[in-house]
Chain A
C-alpha cells in the first residue's frame, strides 16, 4: 500500500523524472506512428488498388506481420545498427532514433494492413462511380483516403497503442539509458527488477491512462465517422 500511495503522489505531483520518461515515450511512439503512417497508408492503398501476381500472399504476409514479435524486431534493428552492421556507421544504436525505427517497423504492418482493408472496402463501393466521374488514379487514392479517414484514424491509434505498450524492441535498441532512452515500459521493467515499485506503479498508471485515452479517441473517431459520413 505505501508504494501505491507514493506512486499516486509521483503522478499527481508531476515528478520530473516520471514526466521525462513519459515525454520521451510519447515522442518516440508518436514519431514511430508518423513514420509508419507515411509508409503504411500508401502501401495499404497500393495493395488495395492494384492487382499483381502474389497479391494474395502479400496480404497474408502483411496480416501476419501485425503480430511481429517485438524482441525479434529489436534484434533485427540491433544487428542493422550495431557497429559491425550494415548501418553501423550511422551511429544510431542506443538512441531515441533507433527506438523510433524499431517501433515504426512494428507498427507499419498494422497501419498498412488496416489501411488496405479500409481502402479496399471503399474501393469496391466507389469504383464505378469514380470511373463514371472520370477521376484519375491520384484523385481516386485521395478520395478513398479522405472518405476512409475515420477508419484510418482508428488504424493510427491502434498502431500508437502497440508502439506505446511494447518493451522488447526498445529495450534492445535503446539500451534503457537513464534520461536518454528510458521509456515507460523499459523503466517499469527495470524499476520492478530493482524493487523500486512506486516509480514502476506510477508509470504503469500513466501507461494505462494513455491506453484508455487512445481507445476513447478511437471510439470517438468511429462515432464522428458515423455522425458526419453516415
Chain B
C-alpha cells in the first residue's frame, strides 16, 4: 500500500527571489519538518512575508527549489495560510468557513459539525450568522484561522497573526496556535514580537535582507545566539 501524500517536510534549497534589481530572498535553505512551531523573526523588509508566500506555493522563486514532501510544484492541498490582513468573504462567519470546507472537498452533510467545532476552537461560537466583515480585527484573525483550519492542513503558515492586536486578542490567537500545534499541525509563523517568539517558538529563523542569518531551536537561539546580528536583534537594537 502506498503511503498517503504529504506536504511535509517543506524544503528550501538555495531559494532566491529577485524582482527587477531587488533581492527579496537570497539563497535561503530551510527544512520545515513536523514538530513545534517555527517562528520567523527579523526586521521589516527582511523577507518574512515573502518566505511564507513561497513556502505556501503562492510565489515561484527565481532560483533554487522548494519541495513539499519531496515533490515540486504541487498545489496547496494540505497547507493553509493566514495573511496579516486576511480578506473576509462578503458572507456570514459560518459561510466563510463553509466556503473553505467546500474547496477542501468536505462532505456537505459534515459542514455544520465542522463549522461548530472550528468556531468553538477559535472562540467564535455564536457568531455564525454575523457578517464576517463586521467582526473586529481580532475576531477576523480568529475567523481566518478557523477558515485555514477548515482545509485540514498539515502545515499552517501565519503571517504576523497578532500584529496590531491588543493583548487580550493576542492571547486568544496565541492560545489557538498552541492548541493547533498540540494537534500535530506544523505551524510556521512570522512575528516582530520577540516575546511572542519566546512564548510560541520551538525553532527560530532570523532573517535579514532576505538571508537566513541564524536558525536553530528557540532555547539555543535565545540562550546563546551565534551571530552578532542575532545578539543585536535580541538586545532590541535596530538591524538596518
CB within 8 Å of B: which residues of A? Answer: 122, 125-126, 128-129, 131-135, 139, 143, 147-148, 225, 227-230
Q: Is there a chain A Cβ closer than 8 Å to B212's Cβ?
A: no
Stretch among B88-96, B106-114, B180-188 lining the A interface: B88-96
User: With A126-B89, A147-B89 known to touch, is A131 a contact of B133 (CB < 8 Å)?
Assistant: no
Q: How far is the CA of A148 from the CA of B132 in the complex (A)?
A: 15
Tell me whether B151 and A133 are in contact (CB under 8 A). yes
Tell me whether A129 and B87 are in contact (CB under 8 A). yes
Band of interface residues on B: 20 to 34
Main secondary structure of the interface of B (DSSP, over half): loop
Tell me whether B133 and A132 are in contact (CB under 8 A). no
- Nearest 3 Cβ contacts at the A-B interface: A230-B133, A230-B131, A229-B90
Partner of B131, one of A122, A134, A229: A229
Tell me whether B91 and A229 are in contact (CB under 8 A). yes
Partner of A133, one of B88, B91, B100: B100
Tell me whether A125 and B87 are in contact (CB under 8 A). yes
Tell me whether B100 and A128 are in contact (CB under 8 A). no
Stretch among B18-26, B74-82, B216-224 lining the A interface: B74-82
User: With A228-B131, A229-B133, A230-B134 known to touch, is A132 a contact of B81 (CB < 8 Å)?
Assistant: yes
Tell me whether A126 and B87 are in contact (CB under 8 A). yes
Q: How far is the CA of A132 from the CA of B151 in the complex (A)?
A: 10
- Chain A residues lying within 8 Å of B86, measured Cβ to Cβ, are 129
Tell me whether B76 and A134 are in contact (CB under 8 A). yes
Closest to A150 in B: B90
